[in-house]
Amino acid sequence: MYGVDDVLGIMGGYRGFYSKNTINLTPKVVNDIHKRGGTFLCTSRGGQDTNKIVDNIQDRRINQVYIIGGDGTHRGAALIYKEVEKRGLQVAVAGIPKTIDNDIAVIDKSFGFDTAVEEAQRAINAAHVEVESVENGVGIVKLMGRYSGFIAMFATLASRDVDCCLIPESPFYLEGPGGLFEFIEQRIKENGHMIIVIAEGAGQDYIAQAMQAADERDASGNRLLLDVGPWLSQKVKIAIALSS
Residues 6 or more apart whose Cβ sits within 8 Å of residue 213: 207, 226
> What's the chain look like in SS3?
CCCCCCCEEECCHHHHHCCCCEEECCCCCCCCHHHCCCCCCCCCCCCCCHHHHHHHHHHCCCCEEEEEECHHHHHHHHHHHHHHHHHCCCCEEEEEECCCCCCCCCCCCCCCHHHHHHHHHHHHHHHHHHHHCCCCEEEEEEECCCCCCHHHHHHHHHCCCCCEEECCCCCCCCCCCCCHHHHHHHHHHHHCEEEEEEECCCCHHHHHHHHCCCCCECCCCCECCCCHHHHHHHHHHHHHHHHC
Four-point Cα dihedral 210, 211, 212, 216, nearest 10: -130
Alpha-carbon distance 54 to 126, whole Å? Answer: 48
d(CA 26, CA 32): 12
> Which of the residues 32, 71, 101, 205 is marked catalytic?
101
Instruction: Please confirm, yes or no, whether 218 is among the known catalytic residues.
Output: no
Could you give the residue numbers annotated as active site?
A: 101
